[in-house]
Amino acid sequence: MSSYEPIAALLRGLEVLKVLNEGGPQAIGDLYRVTGIAKPTLVRIVETLQHAGYVNAGNADRRYAVTPRVLSLANGYEEQRWLLEVTGPLLDELRSLAGWPVELGVFDTDAMVILNTSRQPGYLSVNRKPGSRVPLFKTALGRAYLGALPEQESDALMAKLAVRPEDEFEAARSPRNFRRLLEVIREQGYSTADRETLTNGRAIAVAIVVNDRPVASVNLVAHASAMSMDELEDTWGPKIVLLGQRIEDALRNS
């Protein structure tokens, strides 16, 4: 437990920066609808972020956006940099072969965070950028990560998140059912999600495990109209498993 009460103004500023980073250019009215922060306070926040160089001045429509300077906030995260450097070429290789988006995500507290995604989504746009947070229990990325955790740790995480009221944590409130799903994932070596967070997308994913610990997950997302879940598993299941093994070998040897 921290020694002091958190600084409310700083928390609001970080929330606005997060919303702009994930949602793209937005006007004050847009930020108000998402955050609920009073508009005069939002103006002071974006002008402060602008002064610090993290937000631009807005265009003619006064839509504010993050600047490239936000990238410097991640410079100290060596593990993420290491993952991106090692996995990038292998992810691009599968993207070229499949023609579908391929994503790399890492666990953060209560969600998976996208580190790398297709630069050109093509036929299927999943509208997820690096830094986007996606649900832990409803996505193939999250399920693959949970399936690679020791059972005691996945149980503890479910118990911790079961008290959260949001719909995305509903599975944590039915741990027996979710444990059965994790058993299936461990047995088959990959996880799936069928239009649960992407209304037009099906996904298949594997965990990246190094030294017996999951460090990330990688998925492939296909348009639901292009193939059934059975076709996705039959066609891309072996390839995503192989990709996971190649990434693990590359990480161990890097």
Same domain, 68 and 82: no
| End residue of a domain, out of 20, 42, 73 | 73
Domain annotation covers residue 212? yes
Q: Do 102 and 217 belong to one domain?
A: yes
pLDDT attached to residue 1: 44
CA distance 215 to 220: 18
Residues 69 and 176 both lie in one domain: no
The answer to whether the CB of 232 falls within 8 A of the CB of 222 is yes
What are the structure tokens assigned to 192, written together?
């799936």
The pLDDT, as a whole number, for residue 5 is: 78
Q: What is the pLDDT of residue 25?
A: 86
How many whole angstroms separate alpha carbon 97 and alpha carbon 82?
24
* Residues 155 and 240 occupy one common structural domain: yes
- Establish if 1 belongs to a structural domain: no
Residues with Cβ within 8 Å of residue 179, at least 6 apart in sequence: 151, 154, 155
Mark whether 207 and 235 lie in a shared domain. Answer: yes
Tell me, what's the pLDDT at 188? 92
pLDDT for the residue 121 = 46
Residue 139 domain boundaries: 76-253
CA 216 to chain centre: 10
**What whole-number distance in Å separates Cα of residue 148 and Cα of residue 218?**
13
98 shares a domain with 15:
no
Q: At how many degrees (to 10) do helices 28-35 and 39-52 cross?
A: 110
234 located within any domain? yes
Whether residues 67 and 80 fall in one domain: no
Residue 2, domain member (yes or no): no
Contacts for 98 with CB less than 8 Å, ≥ 6 apart:
220, 222, 236, 239
Same domain, 125 and 92: yes
CATH of the domain at 206: 3.30.450.40
Q: Which of residues 73, 102, 125 is at a domain's end?
A: 73
Residues 122 and 30 in one domain: no
The whole-number pLDDT of residue 200 equals 84
The number of distinct structural domains making up the chain is: 2
**What is this structure's pTM?**
0.70
According to DSSP, the residues that pair with 207 across neighbouring strands are 217
CA distances from 208 to 19, 95, 169, 178 (A): 28, 18, 23, 21
If asked whether residues 114 and 187 sit together in one domain, one would say yes
Query: Is 104 part of a structural domain of the chain?
Result: yes
| Each residue's pLDDT expressed in tens, for the chain with a length of 254 residues | 456 678 888 999 999 998 888 888 889 999 999 999 999 999 999 999 988 888 887 665 678 888 867 766 766 556 677 888 889 899 999 988 988 889 999 998 889 988 888 755 444 555 577 778 899 999 999 999 999 999 999 999 999 999 999 999 999 999 999 999 999 999 999 999 998 887 788 999 999 998 888 999 999 999 888 999 999 999 999 999 999 999 999 988 87
Q: SS3 letters for 42-106?
A: HHHHHHHHHHHCCECCCCCCCCECECHHHHHHHCCCHHHHHHHHHHHHHHHHHHHHHCCCEEEEE
